[in-house]
Amino acid sequence: MKKIAVIFLLVATFFARVNAQEQPTKQKLADNLFERYEYFKSLNIYLELANKSQPRYNVVERIADCYRLMNDYENAETWYQKAIAYPEAAIIDHFYYAEVLLRNKKFADAREQYKTYYQVENGDQLPFKLATCDSAEKWINNPSTAFTVINEQKYNSKYSDWGLNYEGTTGFVFTSDRIIAKQKNDIYNRNGNGYFKMYHTTGDNGVGLLELKTEKNPIFDAVYNVGPMVLTNSGDTAYITITTTLPKRKLAVDAKVSGGTESLYTRRLQLVIATKAAGKWANFKSFPYNNVNEYSVGHATLSKNGNVIYFTSDMPGGQGKTDIWYCVKQSNGNWGEPVNCGNIINTKDDEFFPTLNDNNTLYFSSNGLPGMGGLDIYKTKGEKSTWSKPVNLKTPVNSTSDDFYFVTRDSLSGYFSSNREGGSGSDDVYSFGYKPPAKTTQPAKNALTAKNGQSSSSKNGKPTLANRSSQEPLARIISLNKGDGFIIKNIYYNLDKSNIRPDAAVELDELVQILKQRPSIRLEVGAHTDSRAPSYYNMALSIRRAHAAVDYLVARGITADRLIPKGYGETRLLNNCVKGRFCTEAQHQLNRRTELRILSE
């Protein structure tokens, strides 16, 4: 089972010692730790036992299992290869070996191990697994050029950092199990790291621990995992996922550890609702449909108007292991009963981490839909239990590892999390930029074909000019037709400004003279920004810039009804200077431009 599923839906177990009748052997001690999910501790003991010239099969298998469950896929591959060489090797070892081979992009070997496993077990899933290998290999070799993905090192550490989400207009919150001074004794024995806590960006471009514990709300006193966290648009209410803090005596016993000396209690997930008071999170209360003795509830996201909440749960009545559910806010402000989002997006396996953008596009992760292995990110349109067919975002957003928690406001830029190789730690935060493929346009009916095979639009049998170079006199646009567009190359804007610069005024003055020569022409005045700053801010800035250019022309005698201002923000970049990619100031300035398009005459 994937780490995300293990840690965040059927979370940590708590053990209580019943009796200690005898000192266990070293392997028995390791086995007990393993059954308590303390893989970090048990692995070290198993490795000691494996130093013998001929270690037992079950020791070798457990080492492989520990590495897999701790997401060390390279070492897991090595030890599963050793495990399957034993005559008594369990058939499940071939399945797990196939899974780590797929993750490590050894597709041919993974296919063979899947075939070996499904020759013995029910083979219904073999076509799905082979198709996963095929699609992963195909998409990796032909990655999408629309997405640019950058590892956001300012948020990442050698530990697990994930679940970045928006906090207001410029801030972010995220989850991390990094070990800091005040938590150096809080070690999670599953992986040897700290417990997950919430962090947020600070004013000095750094990150710091987000304090949630207060004297009147001791819900965060216990050392358990916290995160992720989502805020309402107003920023005054948060929905936080935590592992339950109920005392062990109030939790149902799940199982006994071998020998009957310890009992296991599953600490499931629950949602906590918090509101802000005097700038601090307070007034913590439980989401009404938490039921930590029977199932988990977590990973919330909200519709833009705040009237629908979506979340992940393994509550009864779902399509599979974990599903996405929703509740609708009632007229009295309470949440209605949970409803399953249906089998278009939910499968018999796991769906996690739903997020919504401002246009009600739902993003989520699944290991039950066609993909590349591990958790893949998908998008779908709709609401409640009515959705379009999910679309896999493919490479470079998805990988053969776990890819999850995709957040965006406009679908053009945002963040997601992944434990792919090449990162800073276990899970890392990545930013993405998306540039929609350019729409192909049909040539005009009066197009002329030049001798070199290129075509150009024409007027009265003569080629006209479009997208003039910066050296061409602006006056030559007088020959353009309805629908033609052109860039005024010298009208640029300073970073974060909308005022008309002196060099731009020279160009606009020339445009005034042309518009007076063609008094019936109507223009769209389109302004564009670079990709820095949030996308919604860039859109507002571009609108201000478009209006500034129009106001300048109107002030010089051009009637306002001939000019239509239009802001495009960062949606039509001229180069690859997307969010997260380093570009020079000159490269960014190319995108801070004005474009004109003839609407009618």
What pLDDT digit, counting tens, does each position of 236-291 carry?
999 999 987 666 667 666 665 555 556 666 788 999 999 988 888 888 899 999 99
d(CA 69, CA 33): 14
Is there a cis peptide before residue 228, judged by omega within 30 degrees of 0? yes
pLDDT the model gives residue 164: 96
In the chain, how long is the greatest CA-to-CA distance?
A: 101
What is the Cα–Cα distance from 488 to 511, expressed in whole angstroms?
9
Model confidence at 93, pLDDT cuts 50, 70, 90, reads very high
Give the pLDDT confidence of 479-520 residue by residue, as tens digits: 556 656 666 554 555 555 566 767 667 778 878 888 888 888
| Residue 311, pLDDT above cutoff 50 | yes
Number of residues assigned to the chain: 601
Location of structure tokens 């308590």: 36
CA distance 548 to 552: 6
β-pairing, 563-567 vs 522-527, is parallel
Query: Under a CB-based contact definition with an 8 Å cutoff, are residues 167 and 231 in contact?
Result: yes
Structure token pair of residue 431: 């930013």
d(CA 26, CA 465): 82
Rg (CA), the chain: 29
Span 359-376, mean pLDDT?
A: 95
Residue 48: what are its φ and ψ, rounded to 5°?
Answer: -60, -45
Cα→Cα distances 134→108, 110, 129, 421, Å: 9, 11, 9, 20
pLDDT (tens digit per residue) in 39-88: 999 999 999 999 877 899 999 999 999 999 998 999 999 999 999 999 99
Question: Would you state the structure tokens that stand for residue 77, as one six-digit string?
Answer: 């591959």
> In terms of Cα–Cα distance, which of 63, 68, 31, 67 is closest to 47?
63
Residue 191 or 373, more confident:
373
What is the pLDDT at residue 42? Answer: 94
CA distances 412 to 375, 407, 486, 538, Å, are: 22, 11, 24, 12
CATH class, 15-141 region:
mainly alpha
Domain range list for the chain: 15-141, 147-432, 448-600
Distance of CA 457 to the CA centre of its chain: 43
- Which superfamily, per CATH, for 147-432? TolB, C-terminal domain (2.120.10.30)
* Pick from 576, 571, 566, 569: nearest CA to 538: 569
Look at residue 537 and give its three-state secondary structure. helix
448-600 and 147-432 share a CATH fold: no
**Could you identify the residue written with the tokens 């290998």?**
133
| DSSP, res 485 | E
* Average pLDDT over the chain, rounded to an integer: 82
291: which residues sit within 8 A by CB, 6+ positions away? 297, 315
Q: How far apart are CA 401 and CA 513, in angstroms?
A: 60
Q: Which class in CATH covers the domain with range 448-600?
A: alpha beta
Average pLDDT over residues 570-581: 85
Residue with tokens 């006193």: 221
